[in-house]
Amino acid sequence: MASLETGEYNIMAVDYSSMPPTLRPIGLSRQGDSTAVVVLPEGTPPPRWFIQRAFEGPENLYVLRITHKTARRSDGDAVHASDGPPFEWMVIRSAPHPPPVGRDAYAVFLPLSSGEHRGWGYDHTNSETEIPILLQDVGMPWYIVRVDPDA
């Protein structure tokens, strides 16, 4: 199974309910005292994520950073970004999807000590506003595409 190389990426949610499918970038939103990882409205310029393969452990463990903040689990099932030590996520290539995603579909999971996993998900019925990413029993596919370093 191919893994992601360390580098800059765009992470997007894909809505196949419209034709053509729409892409919504994953970014940050200040919510109270924390910075939530959210699905941004369609048409928002995608922020760059820095995805780094973890130094130890299986090949599919990664640290995900945006604007020098690390994506991590908050209290409960929300995903937020903050300063602090690395936090590892399991990123697994998903089955191929219809265009525009193709083979760039991945699921992002939090591995638990029990051997189970909680995956990134969101309320896909809300298409207008910023939608928090929550940990769910099933991980949704995300479009993760490498950004050209010269762009």
**The pTM of the whole model exceeds 0.75:** yes
Pairwise pLDDT comparison (51 vs 54), residue with the higher score: 51
d(CA 110, CA 97): 23
Confidence of residue 99 (pLDDT cuts 50, 70, 90): confident
Closest alpha carbon to 31 in 64, 76, 65 = 76
Confidence of residue 1 (pLDDT cuts 50, 70, 90): very low
Q: Give yes or no for residue 104 having a pLDDT over 80.
A: yes
d(CA 88, CA 72): 8
Q: What is the mean pLDDT of residues 3-23?
A: 87
Pairwise pLDDT comparison (98 vs 106), residue with the higher score: 106
Q: What is the mean pLDDT of residues 130-149?
A: 90
